[in-house]
Structure 1
C-alpha cells in the first residue's frame, strides 16, 4: 500500500470567523526517534492547533501511528473511520515498514482510547486482561450503586502501580486494579489473552464482552 500520511504535514483549519490557518499534524511518532513529538503527545498538546488570528487553541484529530521500537508495539489512531479497519497498514504512514512480525499491533478510534492503549502497552500489561478487568470493575461499581450516568473507566499507572480512573461529568475517582479480578479473568479465558504478534487487533470493551461470553 502506498503512503497516505507523511510523517509531518500541514492542513488548513477554519475558525468560527471563517479565517483559515495552518495546523501541523504528526502522523507518525516513534518514541525513541522523536522524543519531542512523543512528549507533546504525553502532555496532551499533539492534537491541538494555535490560531494566530485569535490566539485560541483548537482541538482536532487526525490519523496517527505511534511506535515504541524498544517495547515493540504499534498503536494506530484512526478517527472517524478515516480508514476501514481491514485496510489499515503501517505502510500507509511514512516511517512505517512492512516487518512488524514480532510487534503487538493495536487499532484505536478515539483519542482517549489511543492514549490509554499506549499507557497499557507501555506498562507492559496485557491489554486483553485490562479490558476484562475494567469490564468487571464497571459491573462491581454498578452493583454497589457507585456509577453515575456517562461514566467511563480508563487504565492509568503511576509510580509503577496500575489503577483505574473512574470519570463522570462532575467527578473522578481512582479504584484499585484488583488482583482478584485479574485472577478471575485468567482463570476464565487464559487462552484468549495472549494474541498473536504481527496481527492487528481492536481490543476494547466490546472485545472483552465477546471474549468473556457475556453478550
Structure 2
C-alpha cells in the first residue's frame, strides 16, 4: 500500500517549472512563498539565510503544473550563493516593497544580474509587495507598471499579509511559462521545464534539495 502511494505521488504532475524569487532583503519574498504554497504568513519572520524552496501543483488548461519556487536571499553577502540558483529557472518574480523606494530602485540591478546568470527566455514578473501599506506608498503603481511594460515584464501588486493578488501573481507567471512551453520556445531539457513521461518515472532536471545548501529554516517577511 505504501509503495502504491509513493508511486502515485511521483506522478502527480505533468510539468515541473523552476521559479526564483529575487529582490532586496525584507521586501516579503519568503512570505509570498509561504502564502502561495501553504497559505501562511509569519509576522515575526527573520531574514532568509542562503536559499530555501517550496512547491505547489496547480491546474493550467487541464494540465498538472508543479511550481518549484526558490527563495533566494536578498542580502548582498549572499549574492555569490544565489547566482547558481538561476540555472534551470524558467520564471522569476522580482519583488520590491511599495513603501520602500530603495527596494524598487534595486529592481534594475536584479534584472541585470538575471541577464548575466539566467536564460535569455526566462519569463519575469515585477511584483510590488505590501500593498496593504498603501498609506505609506513610496512607489506609484503607474510608474512601476510603465517600467514593467518597457522591460516586457508581467506586473502585479500584492500583499502577502492579506493574500491580495498572491494567487494571481504566481498563476499568471506559471500560465505564461506554460504557454511558452506549449509553443516549444523553451528547450525543456535545457531550461528545467519537464513534461512527465507516461511510461517511466519522472526525471527531475532542476537541482534537488540534497544538492543544495538550503536555509536554516528562518523566513523573511
TM-score, normalised to structure 2, is 0.26
Q: TM-score of the superposition, structure 1-length normalised?
A: 0.26
Q: Which has the higher strand share?
A: 1
Compare CA radii of gyration and give the structure with the larger one: 1
